[in-house]
Amino acid sequence: MRFIFLFTFLVTTVFTFAQRNCGTALYAARFENEIVTQQINSSYNRDTIEDEILTIPVVVHVLYNNNAQNISDAQIRSQIDVLNEDFRRMNVDAANTPEAFKVHAADSRIMFCLAQINPEGYAAKGIIRKYTSTRVFDLNDGMKYNAAGGDNAWNSKKYLNIWICNMGSNAIGYASQPGGQADRDGIVIQYNAFGRIGTLMPNFNKGRTATHEIAHWLGLRHIWGDNECGNDGINDTPQQSGYNNNCPSFPTLSSCSADANGDMFMNFMDYTNDACMNMFTHGQKTKMRGQFAINGPRNSFMNSFACDSSMSTAAPLPDDTISAVKTIAPSFKIYPNPATNELNVEGLNGFDLKGQALKIYSATGVLQFSKSNLISTEKINISHLTSGVYFVSIISGKDRKIIKLIKQ
Ligand SMILES: [Zn+2]
């Protein structure tokens, strides 16, 4: 037993630390047919304007099985900073692009924010934390579903969903393609390859895994076209015989190099270390921005305003307290609803109200009523509430359930 454990540990360590392991191509192969059928129906709003800044609201779902995986807000914010540098070519290491390739380097004029408004219109900070009993996720999307130990996506027509979790040796990241199924649309990143502060894998410590995966989410392929001397569909990226690892020096020639400049190994879509990649090309920029055009699969983002906190209609709900203890997700019912004077509350699906706390908020998020140490079948006096819409909330561990209440 000890041998097996040790062996597993070693294999995991080797695969996790040595070279980039992006699961996107493998993942995409499973959904080829689906993408073709779902790329229609995308005329939402307006076309893009040439070179306008496109800003994408991001929600980060942190799924943790231990404290190390519950990465800090600061680590998450450092990743947003990296994205806004890399996609705007404001990264300090842009200076490292070889002279011969600088003419191809582009500012994509795409930016990112942590969502300031949640799908219900409440002010938000764009970060969700959730304990999971799943120790290792694979490429089968479990992290994207509550029922599988993950967290359901926010509306992927309006938000870029990023799931942070432990994928062990399966991959350090993977992305869905534009036009795929909405509830699994987004990217997944290994918790210790996200951001540029915190405890990170040595070769993947500058936030470039998310840069790479978001570029997949925006339609880019690997620079070698996932084939020997393959085609990535971009005119200004040179043909490469395959991917590059680690940190090559310029020029690096391969069997199908078009000229003496060789491979563009510093492109974000190669497999080099974070410290050695620093550019997208004009062709890649055109491809990524094309997703947002009037007939593009991500045109709905032209109608997303979640980066602007002034558009929220309600104050934030209180933060959940962080708990590393697994609890049964709260499930309960209230009746009658609408109610006038008395509200009955009962647990459902094995969830016992006993010892739990209940809170009632106004529609603007102001706490109106609170009761702790509930009994299993509660009767709450609500005669003091004025008529209107309220939210009844029960928090258990890191899970919360909210039910809308109409007070007559
Ligand atoms: Zn990739």
CA 248/CA 275 separation, integer angstroms: 11
Residues whose CB is under 5 A from ligand 1 (ion)? Answer: 22, 24
Rg, Å, the chain Cα set: 24
Give percent above pLDDT 90 in the chain.
66
317: Cα within 13 Å, side-chain hemisphere: 23
End-to-end, the C-alpha distance of the chain in Å comes to: 63
Furthest-apart CA pair in the chain: how many Å?
A: 81
Hey, which residues does 279 pair with through a beta bridge? 267
Name 75's Cβ contacts closer than 8 Å, sequence gap at least 6.
Answer: 194, 195, 197, 198
Q: Which residue has the higher pLDDT, 331 or 284?
A: 284
Q: Is 381 left (phi over 0), alpha (psi -120 to 50) or beta?
A: beta
For β-strands 388-396 and 187-190, DSSP reports them as unpaired
> Distance from the CA of 25 to the center of ligand 1, in angstroms?
7
> Distance from the CA of 216 to the center of ligand 1, in angstroms?
7
3-state secondary structure of 183: helix
> Distance from the CA of 44 to the center of ligand 1, in angstroms?
29
Residue closest to 158 by CA, chosen among 59, 81, 287: 59
Summarize the confidence of residues 195-208 as an average pLDDT.
Answer: 97
| pLDDT tens per residue across span 75-102 | 999 999 999 999 999 999 999 999 999 9
- The pLDDT value recorded for residue 399 is 66
> Distance from the CA of 226 to the center of ligand 1, in angstroms?
9
| pLDDT tens per residue across span 297-330 | 999 999 888 998 887 776 665 543 333 334 567 7
Under 8 Å between Cβ of 71 and 195: yes
Q: Which two tokens stand for residue 52?
A: 């306008």
Element (H, E) at 357: strand 357-362
Q: Which two tokens stand for residue 11?
A: 């294999």
Q: Spot the catalytic one: 52, 120, 213, 228.
A: 213
> Distance from the CA of 67 to the center of ligand 1, in angstroms?
28
Name 115's Cβ contacts closer than 8 Å, sequence gap at least 6.
Answer: 57, 58, 59, 124, 125, 126, 154, 159, 306, 307
Query: Letter for the amino acid at 353?
Result: L
Range with lowest mean pLDDT among 50-59, 138-147, 235-244, 393-402: 393-402
CA 367/CA 365 separation, integer angstroms: 6
Q: Whose structure tokens read 């070179």?
A: 51
> Distance from the CA of 387 to the center of ligand 1, in angstroms?
54
- The pLDDT value recorded for residue 4 is 39
Q: Of the segments 227-231, 374-378, 391-395, which one has the largest average pLDDT value?
A: 227-231
Residues 280, 282, 287, 291, CA torsion sign: positive
Residue 369 Cα to chain centre, angstroms: 34
Query: Letter for the amino acid at 303?
Result: N
> Distance from the CA of 284 to the center of ligand 1, in angstroms?
14
Under 8 Å between Cβ of 242 and 286: no
> Distance from the CA of 329 to the center of ligand 1, in angstroms?
35
Q: Which two tokens stand for residue 285?
A: 């920029």
**Chain mean pLDDT for the chain:** 88
Q: Which domains does the chain have, with CATH numbers?
A: 2-311 (3.40.390.10), 332-407 (2.60.40.10)
CA 76/CA 72 separation, integer angstroms: 6
| pLDDT tens per residue across span 257-281 | 989 999 999 999 999 999 999 999 9
Q: Which residue has the higher pLDDT, 337 or 247?
A: 247
Q: Whose structure tokens read 């990264």?
A: 91
CA 230/CA 224 separation, integer angstroms: 5
> Distance from the CA of 196 to the center of ligand 1, in angstroms?
19
> Distance from the CA of 243 to the center of ligand 1, in angstroms?
10
Residue closest to 407 by CA, chosen among 350, 360, 375: 360
Under 8 Å between Cβ of 271 and 22: yes
3-state secondary structure of 121: coil
Evaluate if residue 185 carries a pLDDT over 60.
yes
Q: Which residue has the higher pLDDT, 267 or 366?
A: 267
Evaluate if residue 374 carries a pLDDT over 70.
yes
User: What Å distances lie between residue 114 and 59, 73, 162, 246, 318, CA to CA?
Assistant: 6, 11, 11, 31, 18
CB-CB neighbours of 307 under 10 Å: 18
> Distance from the CA of 171 to the center of ligand 1, in angstroms?
10
Evaluate if residue 205 carries a pLDDT over 50.
yes
346 is an active site residue: no
